[in-house]
Amino acid sequence: MKRVIVTGDSGGLGHKIVTNLLNHEEYSVIGVSRQETATIMDLRQEYKERYQHIAFDLSRPERIKDLFSNRIKDIGPIYGLVNNAAYAYDDIVTNARIESLERMYNINVFSPILLTKYVIRNMLLYGTKGAIVHISSVSAHTGYKGLSMYASTKGALEAFSIGVAREWGGYGIRSNCVAPGFMETPMSESLTPEQKRRIYKRTSLKEETSADSVAKTVAFLLSENASSITGTVIRVDNGTI
């Protein structure tokens, strides 16, 4: 059984990633998110032996060592990590607030880095040739008003992933990113229909990105079918121009 940690499993994309993985009997999932939702309870009921949820606040990266020591270490070998959890602080840079920036970097950058640290240590301990997938964003590749600060966290994650791929590839550990376009998820609920229309108009397919397509790409990168893919970013964004 391949154990995969998925952060942000309570959100729209996180739920898609978890359910897609659990549809393959070779995987079990450890979900990590701040609160237990109805969807998480449903997953626990349906996949009793292959899914468990750990309540943890990823805005407190200094506690991740304790998370691994007390909640994850004794579970056994970890095959994969999906750094999916994210916090979007949307505003123009002239309105930047340090408190919001710190929270966003804690969740989007510092926690993924520290989670990666302890997952790689686990992989080395057990001799696991594993895979790490970071969820980036199309905003790291093309500009959107109000998303410059959020995009900077995703750009940092992509640069980190490339370095990890180089550092640990010799041990059979792969690191990649998936950069989704705009999806119909809770993170995009603040957008008006007109704002969404303008965003989708910038894509080749003229519609929102399918969260299911993103989830399947994540599953592909975790699988042996992607055994020669590392240090890359796959854009799943409907051909954003």
Active site residues: 150
Q: What is residue 188's three-state secondary structure?
A: helix
Beta bridge partners of 54: 32
Nearest-angstrom CA–CA distance, 158 and 142: 14
Q: Are strands 174-180 and 233-236 parallel, antiparallel or unpaired?
A: parallel
Nearest-angstrom CA–CA distance, 112 and 123: 16
DSSP state of 72: I
Nearest-angstrom CA–CA distance, 204 and 138: 14
Write out the E strands in 1-96: 2-7, 27-33, 51-55, 80-83
